[in-house]
Chains A and B, each alone.
Chain A
Amino acid sequence: MSDATLAEICAVACAEAWRGSGEVLASPIGTIPTIGARLAALTFEPDLAYGDGDASQLAAPIPVGAPPDAEKVVEAWIPFGNFFDIVWSGRRHVMMGATQIDRYGNQNIACIGPWAQPKAQLLGVRGAPGNTVNHPTSYWIPVHNARVFVESVDCASGVGYDRAAKAGPTMQQYHHIHHVVSNKGVFDFETPDHAMRIRSLHPGVTVEEVQELTGFPLVVPADVPTTRRPSDEELRIIREVLDPKGLRSAEVPE
């Protein structure tokens, strides 16, 4: 196998977010997280469930970017009504995007500027409040920079650790911000005050570089691991089964 690309390293880093999730629904948003979730299910997390991005839970993966009429093996029906039931049951681990994310894992996809009259209206909070209060949530950020990794988000769509603590024990009961994967590294909140920590950096990325691209001080462990490279088998699955058209490189160029 030729050397892994950055997109492939990111896909495996996303897959790793679901390691240990067990038999729950993986809900990836974006190309690289979708490859990651399906890769995890095909390798080290065989009971992980995943959908087609629409109303079908699949028994076997389809490639990313498959047309709506692509042949698929449907094992369960998950229209949005069932979907919210699954969210509220907690049997799900989502990987969402973020226009902004802060030190304690608050995420914003709603607007930039004051909510009352925003400078830029975005999607709205979508399912982020319900996701973060009900089940593990991870984030995927294809372009790591200080406009995304900010000191404080403009509108807390997904709830981070500081706001969860303020909201109290019911909020905290099932709250868990798991990993943040970017094109520079993997981050988590496994610190005493749940401030964002470097979990690993992708090959060739330095602490100085990633700190420069982050709008708040990251917690740096004494020994910063390097994100693992995909195995030959993982590369084969990504390239031949999950993304034969190479859509991953559009989301993360070299």
Chain B
Amino acid sequence: MTDKRMTEADVVAELRDGMTIGIGGWGSRRKPMSIVREILRSDLKDLTIVAYGGPEVGMLCTSGQLKKAVYGFVSLDSIPLEPHFRAARQNGTIEAMELDEGMLQWGLRAAAMRVDFLPCRAGLGSAVLDNNPGITTVTSPYSADDYVAMPAVKLDVALLHANRADARGNAQYLGADWYFDDLFAMAADRTFVSCEKVVEPGDFLKEGSESTIRISRIFTDGVVEAPHGAHFTHCVPDYQRDEQIQKEYADSAKSPEAWAEFRAKYIDIPEADYRRVIGVGQ
């Protein structure tokens, strides 16, 4: 029986320059931030990040490790526009593949199904097709309909944060929405899940119904126990978003000095210290 428990550093040791990495969650909600912070502390570069984007995209823009972002949006939810991401787009320092939210889901689904593309209506007529010349349309073999042929969005690695997981890599989502974490896992060659708490398999049903154990270990390769690992994004029902620290993060886009200060305070420190800084550790 494989025990998949590891640390954030172990996960980052599995990553390589130039990889395409999918990140679960949605906006500023249940992002695997402790692993993202570990990436920021590493020398990894030229990463392509695929996400319903939140602060992880902005952080990797500002750290200079992100080469290309693939997204339906990048937002901090309560702060609608992500200032670090905006700066990178406006300065032209990153490549972008901007998709309709549903198209991104469909691209992940195609990768999960191991097919080249899936047809959809979403994207027809819109700027998405102008801005992504690599995405084309396909004529139905059954009618005269033309659909967008959404290409598979294949991931080298998916990084997710769940509420609970067991040591073998089954993952449980206790909030009302697991977003597309399951699809990210299925679209990726390898998936690493951080969680608030590692539990015994027998404990899953004490926390929620069977439908909350959304991801099977057959799709996962590593489990990191990371209490407050999604912080400052939210991880309901375990905790709400930390709006104050999120605001500090947003404000840190104002100058290189402000970013350096934020980095020193929240990123370039061990995770145990991070928990102390945010007031939840001993």
Contact = CB atoms under 8 A, between A and B. Distances in A.
A127 B176 contact: no
A77 B176 contact: yes
A87 B105 CA distance: 13
B177 A84 contact: no
Interface in A108-152: 110-111, 115-130, 132-134
24 contacts: A77-B176, A79-B177, A80-B180, A81-B105, A81-B179, A87-B102, A110-B127, A118-B89, A118-B90, A120-B90, A121-B81, A123-B80, A125-B72, A125-B127, A129-B122, A129-B126, A130-B123, A132-B126, A133-B121, A156-B125, A156-B127, A164-B125, A167-B125, A169-B144
Nearest to B146: A170
Interface stretch (B7-15, B92-100, B191-199, B221-229): B92-100
Given A124-B74, A129-B100, A134 B81 contact: no
B99 A84 contact: no
Contacts of B123: 129-130, 133
Interface in A152-173: 155-159, 163-164, 166-171
Contacts of B101: 84, 126-127, 130
Contact of A134 (B122, B147, B180): B122
Interface residues of B, number: 44
B30 to A, nearest CB: 12
Contacts, number: 140
B71 interface: yes
Given A132-B126, A134-B122, A156-B130, 15 more contacts: A55-B177, A80-B177, A110-B127, A115-B98, A118-B89, A118-B90, A122-B81, A124-B75, A126-B100, A129-B124, A130-B123, A157-B126, A170-B124, A170-B145, A171-B121
A124 B144 contact: no
Contacts of A167: 124-125
A225 B83 CA distance: 43
Contacts of A110: 98, 127
Contacts of B236: 68
B136 interface: no
Given A80-B180, A110-B98, A123 B73 contact: yes
Interface of A: 54-56, 68, 77, 79-81, 84, 87-88, 110-111, 115-130, 132-134, 155-159, 163-164, 166-171, 174-175
Contacts of A88: 102, 120-122
A54 B127 CA distance: 27
A122 B79 CA distance: 12
A134 B144 CA distance: 18
Interface string B108-123: 0000000000001111
Most chain B Cβ neighbours within 10 Å, of A77, A129, A167, A175 = A129
Contacts of A169: 144-145
Contacts of A56: 176
B130 to A, nearest CB: 8
B177 A125 contact: no
Nearest to B234: A68
B176 A170 contact: no
Given A54-B177, A169-B144, A130 B81 contact: no
Contacts of B80: 123
A133 B125 contact: yes
A134 B90 contact: no
B98 A125 contact: yes
Contacts of B124: 129, 133, 159, 167, 170-171
B105 to A, nearest CB: 6
